[in-house]
């Protein structure tokens, strides 16, 4: 296993990593607190939550496997070179566990709080089932050859795919309602900061090793931050410029007329 050349860069790497962890982890709480205070989830898109749970569950499998399994680590090094460092840190694993837990809590709030006429769309259910069925098929393919790194790379690709599409329903809902009410901007601000710190952490490792394989060897983590930053900026544009926040004068029990592009008339 490769060691750090610079002690200062190692400290910076760990510092940026844990800052990103706390920022991303805390980003889940503003939405949970907002739901609790309103005793409603109207304005929070359910497709986003379901896709987000699939995304973080896949990312958890990827991170824990690459961080804890020596077999997976060996297969990673065989592919990308034994001169490289494993691109998953302890904070990545901790974040994934926390993310799955908080997303599950938010989904529980959907069950117990006022939600109007919002539902999970059939398209979202289909996409989620397709993702997990694909992972199951890949498991049977990898089993005879013990291609474990290839298998967890599939989970990495699933989480990237979920990241690419999970924000779209919420962004479209905001557009249709001409409002971001019910969607916490605190979540977005913390998520943006965490994404920037994540890139800073990866850069420290790349500078120390004089190699950028850290970015394309862990493409899931790289795209995770890039896509998240893009949508964070979009949500900030919606919240602060397009649809400035106003005091909620009506009960969250008022149903929404429209929800999301994948939340069509064929809802379940």
Domains of the chain: which residue ranges? 7-242
Instruction: Give pLDDT, residue 251.
Output: 46
How much is the pTM?
A: 0.81
On the question of pLDDT at 144 being above 90, the answer is: yes
DSSP 51-120: HHHHHHHHHHHHHHHHHH-HHHHHHHHHHH-TTSPPS--HHHHHHHHHHHHHHHHHHHHHHHSB-TT---
On the question of pLDDT at 216 being above 90, the answer is: no
Instruction: Give pLDDT, residue 262.
Output: 57
| CA gap 1, 56 in Å, rounded | 28
The count of other CB atoms within 10 Å of the CB of residue 195 is: 23
Mean pLDDT throughout 183-202? 90
Higher pLDDT, 91 or 112: 112
Mean pLDDT throughout 230-249? 85
Mean pLDDT of the chain: 86
Which among 77-91, 182-196, 219-233 has the top mean pLDDT?
A: 182-196
Instruction: Give pLDDT, residue 246.
Output: 61
89 — pLDDT class (breaks 50, 70, 90):
confident
What are the φ/ψ torsions at residue 50 (nearest 5 degrees)? -65, -45
On the question of pLDDT at 139 being above 70, the answer is: yes
On the question of pLDDT at 151 being above 90, the answer is: yes
| CA gap 161, 163 in Å, rounded | 5
């Amino acid at each position: 296993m490769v060691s750090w050349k610079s002690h200062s860069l190692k400290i910076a790497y760990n510092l940026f990593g844990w800052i990103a962890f706390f920022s991303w982890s805390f980003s889940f709480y503003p939405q949970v607190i907002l739901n609790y205070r309103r005793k409603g989830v109207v304005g929070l898109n359910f497709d986003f939550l379901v896709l987000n749970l699939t995304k973080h569950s896949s990312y958890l499998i990827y991170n824990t496997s690459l961080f804890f399994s020596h077999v997976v680590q060996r297969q990673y090094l065989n592919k990308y070179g034994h001169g490289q460092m494993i691109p998953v840190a302890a904070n990545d694993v901790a974040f994934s566990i926390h993310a799955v837990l908080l997303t599950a809590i938010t989904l529980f709030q959907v069950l117990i709080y006022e939600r109007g006429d919002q539902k999970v769309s059939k398209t979202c259910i289909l996409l989620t089932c397709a993702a997990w069925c694909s992972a199951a098929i890949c498991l049977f393919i990898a089993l005879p050859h013990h291609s474990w790194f290839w298998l967890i790379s599939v989970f990495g690709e699933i989480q990237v795919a979920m990241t690419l599409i999970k924000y779209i329903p919420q962004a479209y809902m905001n557009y249709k309602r001409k409002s971001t009410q019910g969607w916490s901007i605190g979540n977005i601000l913390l998520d943006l900061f965490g994404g920037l710190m994540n890139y800073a952490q990866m850069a420290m490792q790349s500078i120390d090793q004089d190699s950028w394989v850290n970015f394309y060897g862990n493409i899931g983590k790289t795209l995770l931050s890039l896509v998240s930053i893009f949508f964070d900026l979009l949500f900030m544009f919606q919240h602060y410029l397009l649809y400035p926040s106003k005091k909620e004068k009506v009960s969250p029990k008022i149903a929404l007329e429209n929800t999301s592009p994948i939340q069509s008339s064929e809802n379940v």
